[in-house]
Amino acid sequence: MDMAWQMMQLLLLALLTAAGSAQPRSARAGTDLLNVCMNAKHHKTQPSPEDELYGQCSPWKKNACCTASTSQELHKDTSRLYNFNWDHCGKMEPTCKRHFIQDSCLYECSPNLGPWIRQVNQSWRKERILNVPLCKEDCERWWEDCRTSYTCKSNWHKGWNWTSGINECPAGALCSTFESYFPTPAALCEGLWSHSFKVSNYSRGSGRCIQMWFDSAQGNPNEEVAKFYAEAMNAGAPSHGIIGS
């Protein structure tokens, strides 16, 4: 399928969905969608090289919105960044936790999320991401590796008991397996952070979905993805990754 046909599909979908879709608060200007950082709690004002990025955040070291200090904190069970405890229902399995660390690295470090940055009126940040088209394999693997770990909530953005200074399960919320709270991969990836992600029908390597995991020696594949959706948005199409699937 050539680019002209894909762009026509994007524009057709925009026309079909514009009337019924709930629009988020204003997106960034079309000229400010590439190689940018969110206006959020720990992000740098603009991306730059960070040679000392730690652990799972290291793929972004050539161009990052996070600092080395932030990358180190992201690997702690309860980091000082947000005082968020992954182990709120007992010890999270390491195979599961690595996905949350990778998700955090993507959020804090990636300069390729511009097409999905939206303004918000929150005390701790002025911008968030919404409906980032996450490659389907990354979501499926996340769900498979976490289905036997435990949690007490299906939306981790809100509703916690913070009286101790860290997140604890609210009264009446029972600890159960991830699979109980997230019966499908999409329920996890889309519901966990209030639709920060939209599970794409595209696969890794397609150039049409954002990869949480990539080998930096081969370059950052998300640069191409951001460019594609930025061009589509400038042409008037939506930025989620469901076209041509």
Q: CA–CA separation, 108 vs 48, rounded Å?
A: 13
Name 2's Cβ contacts closer than 8 Å, sequence gap at least 6. Answer: none
Per the model's pLDDT, the better-predicted residue between 241 and 67 turns out to be: 67
Beta strand 132-134 pairing with 197-199: parallel
Give per-residue pLDDT as tens, 176-189.
Answer: 999 999 999 999 99
Q: CA–CA separation, 74 vs 221, rounded Å?
A: 22
Task: Let me know if residue 14 belongs to a domain.
Answer: no
Task: Let me know if residue 71 belongs to a domain.
Answer: yes
Beta strand 176-177 pairing with 125-129: unpaired
Q: How many domains does the chain have?
A: 1
Give residue 82's domain range.
29-134+194-235
* Percent helix, strand and coil across the chain, each to the nearest 5: 35, 15, 50
Task: Let me know if residue 231 belongs to a domain.
Answer: yes
Task: Let me know if residue 103 belongs to a domain.
Answer: yes
- What amino acid occupies position 37? C
Query: Which stretch of 13-17, 45-49, 99-103, 128-132 has the lowest confidence by average pLDDT?
Result: 13-17
Give per-residue pLDDT as tens, 225-236.
Answer: 999 999 998 887
Q: What pLDDT is recorded for position 178?
A: 98
* Closest to 57 measured CA to CA, from 222, 212, 218, 221: 212
Task: Let me know if residue 115 belongs to a domain.
Answer: yes
Tokens matching residue 121 = 């009126």
Task: Let me know if residue 157 belongs to a domain.
Answer: no
Let me know: does 130 contact 116? Beta carbons within 8 Å: yes
Task: Let me know if residue 7 belongs to a domain.
Answer: no
Give the pLDDT mean for 125-135: 92
- Using the structure block, give the residue that is written with the tokens 């009126």: 121
The residues that bridge with 44 in the sheet, in sequence order, are none
Q: What pLDDT is recorded for position 20?
A: 33
The overall average pLDDT reported for the chain is 86
Give the pLDDT mean for 154-174: 96
Q: What pLDDT is recorded for position 30?
A: 53
Give the pLDDT mean for 115-125: 84
pLDDT-based confidence at residue 26 (cuts at 50, 70, 90): low
